[in-house]
Chain A
């Protein structure tokens, strides 16, 4: 009995590499290549529009790299990294959630990775995207931009432009120039990725870019608010107040 057809999107900035993967996948059978993308933005759009089962993802690409794309995909989509960079591949493998195939591509290795993706789909096992994102970030490197997906569109928010970040249940709202961008991530995960010299957790639900702070006001006994340069007032917890004072 033939396996269910697996719908695949190939993402690689080299046309030649894409052709090679497509041919290898065709040879495996039971696979339909529904899209080919040459960069990360296209990949996010294709994944949102085409809802593939599997994305074969190059790591080093223009604009958005493979890790950033991964962080923007729906958790239901399986990902296999295809890369010549074994150090990155090893990091991907360590989180034990993403498979990887090295370039030059060994068709047997690719077949095994595809088989595992099929297996994952049968079990409806979601990808722990946040954990993967954290594990794949090179150690010591701080986030320079926050990526937010809005349907098939990706907003790139440089961290310098972020005023503050608010936790809303399973989401965070990233406030930039008066607009709130929603992203599915916990505030703790994002806090860990931001430069601790510039972003402070001032409250259970708030992270503040300290450049935006105007002053701190006492409004009741033992209770303070942070007032931003644009006039916005944010709650300041006791611990948050201590953290803020340490930095200032």
Chain B
């Protein structure tokens, strides 16, 4: 492929040189080709090698003069060397009686050859600059794609991290205990845990889920925790019927509910009621998770990080249109997430408008 390109260029340049020698110097076509074709091969090599000065003197606003000077010098030097080589070849050819006076005839075409040689070099340099620019753009694009892939992976890692491994270990411990005393209960707990894991993997793999789906996942989680905490964990749930179809990022509420259990209800000997409310307020939905806490335990070490994660996700997905607010009355911890109210495709006003315009 490379060789083919090189030979094509060499042949074209050889033809050009031969034409100049025949027309400008008055050489016969046979003599002109004998000199022109080797010169074409040499110039072909020079054209390909022009990439290196282009790389070492890139076209930048700051280094423009330097780049132009470098290229002009290289063009003149290569053209000069090229023509001197041609002169040597002509003198060698002259030794054959058939081509007597070839050197003098060559001298007639030489000025034109210098000009053409320099122009060809500059043209080649321009082409190389273009190729280098395209390569750079392509590399940047590849880097951009890589960066997006990395960002996505980071998001997935964040999602995975949101299912607390300690929750899994504690649940497994509950199952291990139940196997010895109530096989049926152990089995139910296994099924609950499997259902929760399956559902969180399924939801975690999607861009958006409905609030109803997320709440169903939270319910499974709470059912498992109820086995562990028994009477200490009570749940109150209040979801406006209009909210269930709203689209939210997957596993957004789950870590908040987990926090409410781990740092709230579990820190109280008497336990308490965790309440989850979802309301629609105009073009927004507000989800509130309200849990009692133990006022003696002020530090919510892990909780702060979990809240920051959720805040970060909301910011990157919705910018200013979503927020997370925390209120801490003396014996409670209240987190409210407010998001734009968005529902599945065909039901949105914009999509409905699009359908109408298509129909019209």
Contact = CB atoms under 8 A, between A and B. Distances in A.
Interface in B158-209: 166, 169-170, 172-178, 180-181
B177 A63 contact: no
How many A residues are at the interface, by size bracket? 20 to 34
B197 to A, nearest CB: 16
A223 interface: no
Given A84-B166, A84-B170, A60 B266 contact: yes
A38 B228 CA distance: 13
Nearest to B185: A16
B180 A20 contact: yes
A5 interface: no
A17 B174 CA distance: 7
Contact of B176 (A14, A85, A104, A144): A104
Given A16-B178, A144-B299, A156-B296, A103 B169 contact: yes
Contacts of B169: 84, 102-104
A166 interface: no
A107 to B, nearest CB: 9
B111 interface: no
B271 to A, nearest CB: 9
A17 B267 contact: no
Given A23-B180, A63-B297, A156-B296, A104 B266 contact: no
User: Which of A16, A84, A105 neighbours the largest number of chain B CB atoms within 10 Å of its CB?
Assistant: A16
B263 to A, nearest CB: 10
A90 interface: no
Nearest to B227: A16
Contact of B174 (A16, A62, A63, A138): A16
B354 to A, nearest CB: 51
B230 interface: yes
Nearest to B263: A60
A116 interface: no
A60 B265 CA distance: 12
Nearest to B294: A62
B230 A15 contact: yes
A104 B267 contact: no
Given A62-B269, A103-B169, A103-B172, A16 B296 contact: no
Interface string A39-71: 100000000000000000000101100000000
B318 interface: no
User: Which of B166, B170, B177 neighbours the largest number of chain A CB atoms within 10 Å of its CB?
Assistant: B177
Given A13-B266, A62-B266, A144-B299, A104 B172 contact: yes
Nearest to A12: B173
The binding surface of chain A is classed by DSSP as loop
A71 to B, nearest CB: 16
B176 A62 contact: no
A210 B170 CA distance: 43
A105 B298 CA distance: 30
Contacts, number: 62
Contacts of B181: 19, 23
Contacts of B296: 63, 156
Contacts of A60: 266
B126 to A, nearest CB: 60
B170 A144 contact: no
Interface in B209-229: 227-229
Given A16-B178, A17-B177, A105-B173, A39 B230 contact: no
Contacts of B266: 13, 60, 62
B268 interface: yes
B269 A39 contact: yes
A84 B173 contact: yes
A173 B181 CA distance: 49
A138 B266 CA distance: 21
A102 B294 CA distance: 26
B177 A20 contact: yes
Contacts of A17: 170, 173-174, 177, 228
B125 to A, nearest CB: 59
Interface in A147-171: 156
A241 to B, nearest CB: 33
B269 A38 contact: yes
A138 B299 CA distance: 13
B295 to A, nearest CB: 11
Nearest to B164: A84
Contacts of B228: 14, 16-17
A5 B267 CA distance: 34
21 contacts: A14-B170, A14-B174, A15-B230, A17-B170, A17-B177, A19-B177, A20-B176, A23-B180, A62-B266, A62-B267, A62-B294, A62-B297, A63-B294, A63-B296, A103-B173, A104-B169, A104-B172, A104-B175, A104-B176, A138-B301, A144-B299
Interface of A: 13-17, 19-20, 23, 38-39, 60, 62-63, 84-85, 102-105, 138, 144, 156
Given A13-B266, A102-B169, 13 more contacts: A17-B177, A19-B177, A20-B173, A20-B176, A20-B177, A23-B177, A38-B269, A39-B269, A63-B294, A84-B166, A103-B172, A104-B173, A138-B301
**Smallest CB-CB A-B distances: 9 pairs:** A20-B177, A84-B169, A103-B173, A104-B173, A104-B176, A104-B172, A84-B166, A62-B267, A84-B170
